[in-house]
Chains A and B, each alone.
Chain A
Amino acid sequence: MEDSLFSIQINGKEYSAKPSQTILQVAQEHNLFIPSICYHPNLGSIQTCDTCFVDVGGELARACTTKAEPGMVVDFQSGNVKDAQYEAMSRILKNHELYCTVCDNNNGNCVVHNTAEYLEIEHQKYQFEAKPYPADNSHPFYRYEPDQCILCGRCVEACQDLQVNETLTIDWGREVPRVIWDNDVPIDQSSCVSCGHCVTVCPCNALMEKSMLGEAGFLTGIPPKILEPMIDLTKEVEPGYKEIFAISEMEAAMRKNRIKRTKTVCTYCGVGCSFEIWTKGRHILKVEPQAEAPVNGISTCVKGKWGWDFVNSEERLTKPLIRKGNEFVEASWDEALNLIATKLKEIKEKDGPDAIGYIASSKCTNEENFLFQKFARAVMGTNNVDNCSRYCQSPATMGLMRTVGIGGDSGTMKDIEQSDLVIIVGANPAESHPVLATRIKRAHKLHGQKLAVVDIRKHELAERADLLLHPKPSTDLILLSAITKYILDQGWEDKEFIATRVNGFEKYVQLLEKFTMDYAVEATGLEKTELIQLAEMIHDAKSVCILWAMGVTQHMGATDTSTAISNLLLITGNYGRPGTGAYPLRGHNNVQGACDFGTMPAWLPGYEPVQDEKVRGRYETAWGAKLPEEPGFNNHQMVEGIHTGKIKAMYLFGEDMAIVDSNSNFVESRFEELEFFVVQDVFFTRTAQYADVVLPAAPSLEKDGTFTNTERRIQRLYQVFEPLGDSKPDWQIFQDLANRLGANWNYQHPSEIMAEAASLAPIFSGVSYERLEGFHSQIWPVNKDGSSTELLYTEKFAFPDGMARLHPVDWTPPFIAGEEFDLHLNNGRLLEHFHEGNMTYKSEGLTHKVPNPWVEISLELARERGIEDGSLVRLTSPYGEVEVRAIVTERVQGNELYLSMNTSEERKAVNRLTSSYHDKYTHTPNYKEAGVKMEVLEVKGEPPLPKVNYRFGNRIPQISVRVEDKWKREDFTPIPKLFESGGNEYGETNQAN
Chain B
Amino acid sequence: MAKPIRQINKHVPNPVEEQAEALSDMLKAITDNREAIITSLDILKQLQDMGALTAIQSLLVKRNDVGAIAIGQINQPTMKHAIKNAMNAFKFFGSLEPEQVQSMIQSISGGLERFSETMQNGESKSIWKLSASLFNPEVRTSLTTMVEFLHGMGESIHQDQQPTQ
Spell out A's residues near B (CB within 8 Å).
Answer: 222-223, 225-226, 229-230, 232-233, 236-237, 239, 319, 321, 323-324, 326-330, 668, 671-674, 677, 684, 686, 689-692
Q: Does A237 contact B2, Cβ atoms closer than 8 Å?
A: no
Contact residue among B4, B72, B84 (Cβ-Cβ distance under 8 Å from A689): B4
Contact residue among A230, A237, A239, A672 (Cβ-Cβ distance under 8 Å from B71): A230
User: CB within 8 Å of A: which of B39-65?
Assistant: 64
Instruction: List residues of chain A with CB within 8 A of the CB of B68.
Output: 225-226, 229
Q: Does B2 contact A328, Cβ atoms closer than 8 Å?
A: no
Assembled-state Cα–Cα distance A323/B1 (Å): 12
Query: Total interface residues on B, using CB and 8 Å?
Result: 23
Given A226-B64, A226-B67, A232-B75, answer yes or no on A326-B7 (Cβ-Cβ < 8 Å).
yes
Assembled-state Cα–Cα distance A222/B64 (Å): 8
What residue in chain A is nearest B63 (Cβ atoms)?
A: A226
Spell out B's residues near A (CB within 8 Å).
Answer: 1-11, 64, 67-68, 71-72, 74-75, 80, 83-84, 87, 91
Known contacts A229-B71, A236-B80, A668-B4; 4 further A-B pairs (Cβ under 8 A): A319-B10, A326-B7, A328-B5, A691-B2
Given A319-B11, A330-B9, answer yes or no on A690-B75 (Cβ-Cβ < 8 Å).
no
**How many whole Å from A520's CB to the nearest CB in chain B?**
47
Instruction: List residues of chain B with CB within 8 A of the CB of A672.
Output: 1-4
Given A232-B75, A233-B74, A237-B84, answer yes or no on A326-B2 (Cβ-Cβ < 8 Å).
no
Assembled-state Cα–Cα distance A668/B3 (Å): 9
Given A237-B83, A672-B1, answer yes or no on A321-B8 (Cβ-Cβ < 8 Å).
yes
Q: Does A237 contact B87, Cβ atoms closer than 8 Å?
A: yes
Q: Does A671 contact B2, Cβ atoms closer than 8 Å?
A: yes
Pick from A226, A239, A324, A330 the residue with the most CB of B within 10 Å.
Answer: A226
Contact residue among A226, A330, A668, A690 (Cβ-Cβ distance under 8 Å from B8): A330
**How many whole Å from A339's CB to the nearest CB in chain B?**
14
Assembled-state Cα–Cα distance A672/B6 (Å): 14
Instruction: List residues of chain A with CB within 8 A of the CB of B1.
Output: 672-673
Assembled-state Cα–Cα distance A226/B7 (Å): 50
What number of residue pairs across chains A and B have CB atoms under 8 A from each other? Answer: 70
Instruction: List residues of chain B with CB within 8 A of the CB of A237.
Output: 80, 83-84, 87
Assembled-state Cα–Cα distance A733/B8 (Å): 21
**How many whole Å from A387's CB to the nearest CB in chain B?**
23
Given A226-B64, A689-B6, answer yes or no on A330-B11 (Cβ-Cβ < 8 Å).
yes
Assembled-state Cα–Cα distance A236/B80 (Å): 7
Assembled-state Cα–Cα distance A470/B9 (Å): 53
What residue in chain B is nearest A243 (Cβ atoms)?
A: B87
Assembled-state Cα–Cα distance A328/B7 (Å): 6
Instruction: List residues of chain A with CB within 8 A of the CB of B71.
Output: 226, 229-230, 233
A-B pairs, 3 with minimum CB distance? A689-B4, A327-B7, A330-B11
Given A327-B9, A329-B9, A330-B8, answer yes or no on A233-B80 (Cβ-Cβ < 8 Å).
yes
Pick from B4, B7, B10, B91 the residue with the most CB of A within 10 Å.
Answer: B4
**How many whole Å from A234's CB to the nearest CB in chain B?**
10
Q: Does B2 contact A692, Cβ atoms closer than 8 Å?
A: yes
- Contacts A/B (CB < 8 Å), 17 sampled: A225-B64, A226-B68, A226-B71, A229-B71, A229-B72, A232-B75, A233-B71, A233-B74, A233-B75, A233-B80, A327-B8, A328-B5, A330-B8, A330-B11, A672-B3, A672-B4, A689-B6
Instruction: List residues of chain A with CB within 8 A of the CB of B67.
Output: 222, 226
Pick from B6, B9, B87, B91 the residue with the most CB of A within 10 Å.
Answer: B9
Instruction: List residues of chain B with CB within 8 A of the CB of A689.
Output: 4-6
Q: Does B91 contact A239, Cβ atoms closer than 8 Å?
A: yes
What residue in chain A is nearest B12 (Cβ atoms)?
A: A330
Instruction: List residues of chain B with CB within 8 A of the CB of A319.
Output: 10-11
Q: Does A690 contact B2, Cβ atoms closer than 8 Å?
A: yes
Given A233-B80, A330-B10, A684-B8, answer yes or no on A323-B74 (Cβ-Cβ < 8 Å).
no
What residue in chain B is nearest A331 (Cβ atoms)?
A: B11
**How many whole Å from A889's CB to the nearest CB in chain B?**
35
What residue in chain A is nearest B81 (Cβ atoms)?
A: A237
Q: Does A674 contact B83, Cβ atoms closer than 8 Å?
A: no
What residue in chain A is nearest B66 (Cβ atoms)?
A: A226
Assembled-state Cα–Cα distance A223/B2 (Å): 56
Assembled-state Cα–Cα distance A323/B83 (Å): 71
Instruction: List residues of chain B with CB within 8 A of the CB of A327.
Output: 5, 7-9
Q: Does B2 contact A677, Cβ atoms closer than 8 Å?
A: yes
Assembled-state Cα–Cα distance A324/B2 (Å): 11
Q: Does A328 contact B64, Cβ atoms closer than 8 Å?
A: no
What residue in chain B is nearest A328 (Cβ atoms)?
A: B8
Instruction: List residues of chain A with CB within 8 A of the CB of B3.
Output: 672
What residue in chain B is nearest A321 (Cβ atoms)?
A: B8
Instruction: List residues of chain A with CB within 8 A of the CB of B75.
Output: 229, 232-233, 236
What residue in chain B is nearest A222 (Cβ atoms)?
A: B67
Q: Does A323 contact B80, Cβ atoms closer than 8 Å?
A: no
Q: Does A239 contact B87, Cβ atoms closer than 8 Å?
A: yes
Instruction: List residues of chain A with CB within 8 A of the CB of B9.
Output: 324, 327-330
**How many whole Å from A985's CB to the nearest CB in chain B?**
13
**How many whole Å from B74's CB to the nearest CB in chain A?**
6
Instruction: List residues of chain B with CB within 8 A of the CB of A321.
Output: 8
**How many whole Å from B123's CB to the nearest CB in chain A?**
48
Assembled-state Cα–Cα distance A329/B80 (Å): 66
Assembled-state Cα–Cα distance A223/B63 (Å): 11
**How many whole Å from A676's CB to the nearest CB in chain B?**
9
Given A233-B71, A237-B83, A237-B84, answer yes or no on A223-B64 (Cβ-Cβ < 8 Å).
yes
Assembled-state Cα–Cα distance A849/B147 (Å): 78
**How many whole Å from B81's CB to the nearest CB in chain A?**
9
Assembled-state Cα–Cα distance A223/B11 (Å): 41
Instruction: List residues of chain B with CB within 8 A of the CB of A677.
Output: 2
**How many whole Å from B72's CB to the nearest CB in chain A?**
7
Instruction: List residues of chain B with CB within 8 A of the CB of A691.
Output: 2
Q: Does A690 contact B4, Cβ atoms closer than 8 Å?
A: yes
Assembled-state Cα–Cα distance A565/B38 (Å): 79
Assembled-state Cα–Cα distance A671/B3 (Å): 9
**How many whole Å from A905's CB to the nearest CB in chain B?**
14
Assembled-state Cα–Cα distance A677/B4 (Å): 12
Assembled-state Cα–Cα distance A237/B81 (Å): 8
Instruction: List residues of chain A with CB within 8 A of the CB of B80.
Output: 233, 236-237
**How many whole Å from A719's CB to the nearest CB in chain B?**
25
Instruction: List residues of chain B with CB within 8 A of the CB of A239.
Output: 84, 87, 91
Assembled-state Cα–Cα distance A671/B11 (Å): 27
**How many whole Å from A836's CB to the nearest CB in chain B?**
15
Assembled-state Cα–Cα distance A226/B62 (Å): 13
**How many whole Å from A846's CB to the nearest CB in chain B?**
24
**How many whole Å from A325's CB to the nearest CB in chain B?**
9
Instruction: List residues of chain A with CB within 8 A of the CB of B8.
Output: 321, 327-330, 684
Assembled-state Cα–Cα distance A668/B4 (Å): 9
**How many whole Å from A346's CB to the nearest CB in chain B?**
16
Assembled-state Cα–Cα distance A330/B10 (Å): 6
Instruction: List residues of chain B with CB within 8 A of the CB of A230.
Output: 71
**How many whole Å from B134's CB to the nearest CB in chain A?**
44
**How many whole Å from B64's CB to the nearest CB in chain A?**
6
Q: Does B72 contact A326, Cβ atoms closer than 8 Å?
A: no
What residue in chain A is nearest B82 (Cβ atoms)?
A: A237
Q: Does B64 contact A323, Cβ atoms closer than 8 Å?
A: no
Instruction: List residues of chain B with CB within 8 A of the CB of A671.
Output: 2, 4
Assembled-state Cα–Cα distance A660/B1 (Å): 22
**How many whole Å from A748's CB to the nearest CB in chain B?**
28
Assembled-state Cα–Cα distance A689/B8 (Å): 10
Given A226-B71, A230-B71, A233-B75, answer yes or no on A326-B64 (Cβ-Cβ < 8 Å).
no
What residue in chain B is nearest A227 (Cβ atoms)?
A: B71
Assembled-state Cα–Cα distance A222/B68 (Å): 11
Assembled-state Cα–Cα distance A239/B86 (Å): 10
Assembled-state Cα–Cα distance A319/B10 (Å): 9
Contact residue among A222, A232, A674, A686 (Cβ-Cβ distance under 8 Å from B2): A674
Assembled-state Cα–Cα distance A324/B10 (Å): 12
**How many whole Å from A43's CB to the nearest CB in chain B?**
37
**How many whole Å from B32's CB to the nearest CB in chain A?**
23
